[in-house]
Amino acid sequence: MADHNGDEQNRRREEQDTETASAATLLPMLIGGLFLIVIGMVAVMIFT
């Protein structure tokens, strides 16, 4: 039982780490997404 509880705590810590990491990388991802959208719109305007 003690090992099982330890595993759960480790999983929770890993989830928190990934949450903070995703929060830190969220802004660059948004900027990249907007950049890709702009490129796509320009390409559509050029090819139509």
Q: Could you read off the pLDDT of 1-48 as tens digits, one per residue?
A: 555 666 666 666 666 665 666 666 788 889 999 999 999 999 999 988
3-state helix, strand, coil in the chain (%, to 5): 95, 0, 5
* pLDDT at 44 (0 to 100): 96
Question: Looking at the 3D structure of the chain, how many domains does it have?
Answer: 1
* pLDDT at 18 (0 to 100): 58
Q: Which residue is it, tokens 């949450």?
A: 19
Q: Which among 9, 14, 38 has a CA at the least distance from the CA of 22?
A: 14
Rounded to whole angstroms, how far apart are CA atoms 32 and 6? 38
Domain that holds residue 19: 1-48
Q: Which amino acid is at 38?
A: V
